[in-house]
Structure 1
Amino acid sequence: MKKRWVADASLLAVTFVWGATFVVVQNAIAFLEPLSFNAVRFSLAWLFLFIWLVIFHRSLFRHYTLPLIRAGIWMGLWLFSGYALQTIGLLYTTSSKAGFITGLNVVLVPLFSFLFLKQKPSANAIIGTVMAAAGLYFLTIGDGSWSFNRGDVFVFFCAISFAMHIIVTDKYSARYSSMLLTMTQIFTVAVMCTIFAFLFEDETQIWNAAILQKREVWTALLITSLLATTAAFFIQTNFQKYTTATRVALIFAMEPVFAAITAYIWAGERLTASAIIGCIGILCGMIFAELPTSFLSEKWWRAKRRITH
């Protein structure tokens, strides 16, 4: 029980970092295109982790095996496809719709957990998932109009990719070294982002010194590579083995909440009434899923006794 709470708290801290760095990344990609930014970000993250291992944990390299490498690459491919599909989708749809559709992985993860991992979600988790999905709608869409377009299709497949990343992390995190898995998946994302940046973006800008020296770019790269990539994915890989994939998805649903709060504090963006309702809905969904499994059954029996007596 204690390990589960530590795991959930650690994953919530990761979610806070991702949400808090959203404004920083937005400022950086005004100068460096998204895939190029992620190519540099994940390359630096891999380099930091590699140097750390060489200096402090060199003996871990002896545990590199072909199955571990395959698992890390598989995790990295799902993670990359999530980033890439979201980037493509944003060319054709709005940020608010993309945020909501991406957040639907909170609904997909319990389904995939049941299909691929044979993990049956608890009643608390199911209700919490529905509450979080409703909260995501109010936070990102609100009372705006909805019109379906091809960008929404790309972002929906992005949600599937992020959901599958959680599933495969859940599958492999207990089998192999968290550090080696993290380094392998980060290296995979760096390579894939570099390849696709050369194919679809201005490849001359990836390592353009004039752009990388801009304060908005290098500070964003430093923060995201160290905190939002190296530390974040190591924590996810290391601690997810102590919780369930469904709980991880619910915790990650807090990312847009943290993003909205930090955007309000740092960038002066105002939260609408709909956004506030959405934040509350996501928070309540996460808290509800954290309640003991016996909570619903106890409430149900108490209500039944009141009715029958």
Structure 2
Amino acid sequence: MQRDTLTADLLLLLTALLWGFAFAVQRVGNEFVGPFTYNGIRFALGAASLVPVIRWLDKRKIGKPVEKTLDVPLPFWGASLLAGFVLFCGASLQQVALVYTTAGKAGFITGLYVVIVPIIGLFLGQRADKGHWIGATCAVLGLYFLSVTSSFSLAPGDGMVLIGAVFWAIHVVLLSWLAPRYDAVRLACGQFTVCAILHLVIAFFTETLTLSGLYGGMWPILYGGVISVGVAFTIQVVAQRRANPAHAAVLLSMETVFAALGGWILLGEMLGSRGLLGCGLMFAGMLISQWTDMKAS
């Protein structure tokens, strides 16, 4: 059991790494195509990249079947619609916000879902430990220093990322409920398909797509579609079959560190002293939350 837990933790950490660097890549993608077009194409690529994987698993019969001991509350298409809609909300808010804010800041604010997840748990009858509330306080203070300017105004885009963090938290909790009840790879493909369709429909009415834009944004789109979506989100679904929501959120929140690192390496983004203080407080909140989970287990 401990080995399975360690494997799940390492997979979640790998997911955080791939997601973190995706913030910088997504910001580059916005320079060539609209945010809804970018997300629509990348989630469509992510879904398409899983089709041969599903066929390969079926052919060799190594895909894990649905456990009959677990209640399946929704038909598969219903689970895909639910997960895909929540994913769409988080992804669209994040991508639009990256037009106005930096990759590093967006990554750190998104990481607030590490403390939002146990708060959601309260409404589901799950008790949050004292350490979670201390971690939440540190994270909120960090968010203030990172995102709110000295004139007490929220920088453009930061508010959208914060709202998106709520949807990412809901997505983590939702997957912890759905992943053990459905085939993991099929569920990932289903939610990507729903998310892609929703983005592309909005893009059709609000954005203009050009061949030059597609060509210029080819590499950001490929990374966002195949790596960030096809690989990382699928790893998340597989790993969350064995991880509880709060613990998974802590590990996935490490994407904030990788986002800042990716913004620095790929885009040359720098944070001032106020921003660094905010990042430090948010990271401290995440560590406190993690320590609380480890102590409880």
Residue 226 to residue 8, structure 1, CA distance change in 2 (3 Å): same
Aligned ranges 1:174-189 → 2 under 5 Å? 174-189=180-195
Flag the structure with larger Rg: 1
Separation in 1 of the partners of 2:161 and 2:269?
A: 24
Mapped contact 2:87–2:195 kept (Cα < 8 A): yes
Residue aligning to 2:262: 262
Structure 2 letter corresponding to 1:192: L
Separation in 1 of the partners of 2:65 and 2:180?
A: 18
Aligned ranges 1:129-140 → 2 under 5 Å? 129-138=136-145, 140=146
Q: Gapped runs of 5+ residues in structure 1?
A: 297-309
Q: What is the CA-CA distance between 1:45 and the residue it aligns to?
A: 1.0
Separation in 2 of the partners of 1:224 and 1:283?
A: 25
2:169 aligned with 1:163, yes or no?
Answer: yes
Structure 1 letter corresponding to 2:212: A
2:121 aligned with 1:113, yes or no?
Answer: yes
Residue aligning to 1:211: 213
Residue aligning to 2:242: 242
Residue 62 to residue 110, structure 1, CA distance change in 2 (3 Å): closer
Q: What is the CA-CA distance between 1:8 and the residue it aligns to?
A: 2.8
Structure 2 letter corresponding to 1:245: P
Residue 83 of structure 1: which of 77, 80, 91 is its match? 91
Separation in 2 of the partners of 1:135 and 1:219?
A: 33
Q: What is the CA-CA distance between 1:38 and the residue it aligns to?
A: 0.8
Q: Percent identity, aligned pairs only? A: 29
Q: What is the CA-CA distance between 1:83 and the residue it aligns to?
A: 2.3
Residue aligning to 2:80: 72
1:267-306 deviations in Å (ceiling 9; x for gaps): 322232233333333333333333366859xxxxxxxxxx
Aligned ranges 1:1-309 → 2 under 5 Å? 1-58=2-59, 67-87=75-95, 102-116=110-124, 118-138=125-145, 140-141=146-147, 144-147=150-153, 155-202=161-208, 205=209, 208-214=210-216, 217-291=217-291, 295=295
Q: What is the CA-CA distance between 1:87 and the residue it aligns to?
A: 4.9
Mapped contact 1:103–1:136 kept (Cα < 8 A): no
Residue 248 to residue 131, structure 1, CA distance change in 2 (3 Å): farther
Mapped contact 1:14–1:235 kept (Cα < 8 A): yes
Q: Alignment partner of 2:268: what SS?
A: coil
Separation in 2 of the partners of 1:195 and 1:47?
A: 18
Mapped contact 1:38–1:193 kept (Cα < 8 A): yes
Residue aligning to 2:69: none
Structure 2 letter corresponding to 1:42: F
Residue 201 to residue 7, structure 1, CA distance change in 2 (3 Å): same
Mapped contact 1:75–1:185 kept (Cα < 8 A): yes
TM-score normalised over the length of structure 2 = 0.81
After TM superposition, the structure 1 stretch with the greater mean CA deviation from structure 2, 144-153 or 225-234, is 144-153
Q: Alignment partner of 2:181: what SS?
A: coil
Number of aligned positions between the proteins = 286
After TM superposition, the structure 1 stretch with the greater mean CA deviation from structure 2, 247-256 or 228-237, is 247-256
Q: Alignment partner of 1:31: what SS?
A: coil
Q: Gapped runs of 5+ residues in structure 2?
A: 67-71
Separation in 1 of the partners of 2:54 and 2:248?
A: 27
Structure 1 letter corresponding to 2:172: I
Separation in 1 of the partners of 2:3 and 2:117?
A: 24
Residue 209 to residue 62, structure 1, CA distance change in 2 (3 Å): farther
Separation in 2 of the partners of 1:259 and 1:282?
A: 14
Residue 220 to residue 151, structure 1, CA distance change in 2 (3 Å): closer
Cα RMSD of the aligned pairs, angstroms, is 3.2
Separation in 2 of the partners of 1:169 and 1:294?
A: 21
